[in-house]
């Protein structure tokens, strides 16, 4: 049987996020339901079951959780190796530059300025949606937001001159001088789920494929545009907050649509 109380204490002592703690405890319970004890044999059986039941990314998430539990009970030698995640040779579901420009045009035309600036900030800063909702009016005036990772590493999210000027004008019109800028109708910080859901609805309103309209898609757009104009992948890795530059290399690849267009243009034999 797994000692959940001690495991949770170990997780909180590791300064993990609430989402990670919940995911790790879920994996521990999942293992506990299927196996009566933590043995090497049962660990291998659990891994085999995960591989049959889930995608590689989910398998590795559950294995990270179980390996963390093994660390907490001093059984590091029993840790299970991760499965290999086969990377695709193209980027999937990234909003095109044309659709991004059209989306901005429609939102501005219809005076949906709140949502206009949501996608502007995502696409012009490379911020994650969880980081977007931390931006305050003070950060806009300053031109950047500093964030610290679990390991104490500083990441600076820059707000470009063009975005800063436009956003300050919007904030002045709203008489917003301080505090978080992305609020819901109750005056509280909007949730990441609230942003994702509304972006889908707006995409459908304007006839844009909803599969490419989600917060992280605009972060991908930032990376693609940045590399096209400034071919400095190491700098981009810093801007994106990637631990490894290998993670950033995916943006050197074409999207599936871009690949199709090139093939259609080039291959005429």
- DSSP code at position 181: S
Q: pLDDT by residue (tens digit) across 204-255?
A: 999 999 989 999 899 999 998 998 888 888 888 888 888 778 778 878 777 7
Distances (CA, A) of 129 to 44, 124, 191, 194, 196: 36, 13, 9, 11, 9
Question: For the chain, which residues make up each domain, given as ranges?
Answer: 4-78, 97-266
CATH: 3.40.47.10, 1.10.443.10, 1.10.357.10, 1.10.569.10. Which one for 97-266?
Answer: 1.10.443.10
**Is the CATH number 3.40.50.300 carried by domain 4-78?**
no
Q: Which residues contact 176 (CB under 8 A, 6 or more apart)?
A: 137
pLDDT in tens, 83-130: 876 655 556 778 889 999 999 999 999 999 999 999 999 999 999 998
Is the pTM above the cut of 0.75?
Answer: no
């Amino acid at each position: 049987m797994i000692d959940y109380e001690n495991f949770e204490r170990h997780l909180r002592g590791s300064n993990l996020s609430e989402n990670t703690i919940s995911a790790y405890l879920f994996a521990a319970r999942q293992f506990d339901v299927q196996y009566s004890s933590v043995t090497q044999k049962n660990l291998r059986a659990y891994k085999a079951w995960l591989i049959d039941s889930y995608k590689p990314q989910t398998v590795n998430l559950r294995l990270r959780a179980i390996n963390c539990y093994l660390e907490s009970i001093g059984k590091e030698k029993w840790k299970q190796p991760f499965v290999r995640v086969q990377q695709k040779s193209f980027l999937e579901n990234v909003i095109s530059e044309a659709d991004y420009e059209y989306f901005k045009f429609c939102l501005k035309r219809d005076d949906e300025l709140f949502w206009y600036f949501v996608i502007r900030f995502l696409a012009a800063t490379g911020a994650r949606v969880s980081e977007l909702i931390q931006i305050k009016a003070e950060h806009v005036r300053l031109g950047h937001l500093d964030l610290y990772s679990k390991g104490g590493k500083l990441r600076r999210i820059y707000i470009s001159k063009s975005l800063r000027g436009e956003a300050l004008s919007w904030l002045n019109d709203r008489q917003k001088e301080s505090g978080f800028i992305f609020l819901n109708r109750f005056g509280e910080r909007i949730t990441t789920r609230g942003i994702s859901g509304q972006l889908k609805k707006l995409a459908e309103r304007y006839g844009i494929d909803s599969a490419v309209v989600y917060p992280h898609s605009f972060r991908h757009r930032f990376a693609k545009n940045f590399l096209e104009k400034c071919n400095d992948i190491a700098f981009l890795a810093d801007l994106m907050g990637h631990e490894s530059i290998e993670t950033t290399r995916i943006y050197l690849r074409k999207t599936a649509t871009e690949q199709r267009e090139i093939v259609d243009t080039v291959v005429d034999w």
